[in-house]
């Protein structure tokens, strides 16, 4: 089993604008307490990309979890975007398509992709504005999302849904532009083999870390330093030592970094039974779901 020295968690945002208060980045190194990277800073997506590129250039022995989805559903229909001739056949192709159509959008935004007449047919954009190919009800789910609902490991929302506080579609599309740029620099599990050295990317849900720390489903947000330290203690992590209020984005990243360190050595997390080679190539998997 590959051993890592550093464990990073990225709480991401798909919001518009040059800087995102919703972005937080934390690293847990060795047995030390997890710590925020630039804790008082309001990150841009370009700065996060730069940080990741520096990690790649340095060959850091780091497992990096990002809290957005790397793909849309594919297995259920044999395509990401049925009835669209440009629908890609794998993850890198999907990221490249999103990048090509959104290339003119600043700050790694994705409005131009969603405005494309073939793309917009597949998404729920707002009340009274739903594409004709958006699957009625909850929307299409990846195999990992269907699996985690059945096993009650997590509650997922379709990435084709862009409405409501729980939606993750916009963040995922913005993240795909990031993954497109990191292709060939940092491998992504399970699309790529786990390398013998250097950094590795994995998709995560910060809610999984909260559940592992004993928090009830639907009550996973921590906004107080003492509550965060209590949750970290459940994960056998030293306290973060933050006095008073803490943003839920920061606490999500800190808790998830400690959680990654806790589970990274478990072989079951790397070989979930439903995961196949075809899924690894087209839909990916959420690390921690077994």
At 186-219, the pLDDT tens digits run: 999 999 999 999 999 999 999 999 999 999 877 7
List, in sequence order, every residue forming a beta bridge with 201; answer none if it has no partner.
64, 188
pLDDT band of 166, cuts 50, 70, 90: confident
pLDDT band of 128, cuts 50, 70, 90: confident
Which runs of E-coded beta strand occur in 71-128?
124-126
pLDDT digits (tens, 9 = 90+) for 63-95: 999 999 999 999 999 999 999 999 999 999 999
pLDDT digits (tens, 9 = 90+) for 137-159: 889 999 999 999 999 999 888 99
| Token pair in block for residue 207 | 């809610």
CA dist 25 and 249 (Å) reads 9
Dihedral, CA of residue 230, residue 267, residue 23 and residue 162, to nearest 10: -110
Using DSSP, state whether 269 is helix, strand or coil.
helix
Percent of the chain with pLDDT over 90: 93
Phi, psi of 66 (to 5 degrees): -115, 140
CA dist 53 and 60 (Å) reads 11
| Token pair in block for residue 62 | 């780091």
Query: pTM of the full predicted structure?
Result: 0.97
């Amino acid at each position: 089993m590959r051993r890592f020295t550093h464990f990073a968690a990225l709480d991401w945002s798909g919001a518009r604008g040059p800087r995102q208060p919703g972005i937080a980045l934390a690293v847990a190194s060795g047995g030390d307490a997890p710590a925020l990277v630039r804790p008082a800073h309001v990150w841009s997506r370009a700065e996060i990309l730069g940080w990741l590129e520096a990690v790649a250039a340095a060959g850091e022995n780091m497992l990096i979890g990002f809290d957005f989805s790397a793909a849309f559903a594919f297995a259920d229909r044999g395509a990401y975007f049925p009835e669209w001739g440009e629908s890609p056949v794998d993850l890198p192709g999907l990221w490249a398509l999103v990048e090509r159509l959104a290339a003119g959008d600043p700050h790694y935004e994705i409005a131009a992709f969603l405005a494309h007449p073939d793309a917009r047919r597949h998404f729920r954009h707002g009340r009274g504005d739903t594409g004709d190919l958006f699957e009625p009800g909850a929307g299409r789910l990846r195999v990992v999302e269907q699996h985690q609902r059945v096993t009650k490991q997590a509650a997922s929302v379709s990435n084709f849904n862009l409405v409501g506080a729980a939606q993750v579609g916009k963040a995922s599309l913005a993240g795909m532009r990031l993954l497109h740029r990191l292709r060939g620099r940092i491998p992504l599990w399970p699309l790529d083999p786990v390398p013998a050295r250097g950094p590795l990317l994995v998709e995560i849900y910060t809610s999984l870390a909260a559940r592992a720390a004993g928090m009830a489903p639907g009550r996973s947000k921590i906004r107080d330093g003492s509550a965060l330290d209590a949750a970290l203690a459940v994960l056998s992590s030293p306290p973060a030592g933050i006095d008073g209020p803490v943003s839920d984005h920061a606490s999500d990243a800190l808790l998830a970094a400690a959680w990654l360190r806790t589970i990274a050595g478990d072989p079951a997390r790397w070989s979930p039974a439903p995961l196949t080679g075809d899924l690894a190539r087209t839909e990916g998997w959420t690390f921690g779901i077994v």
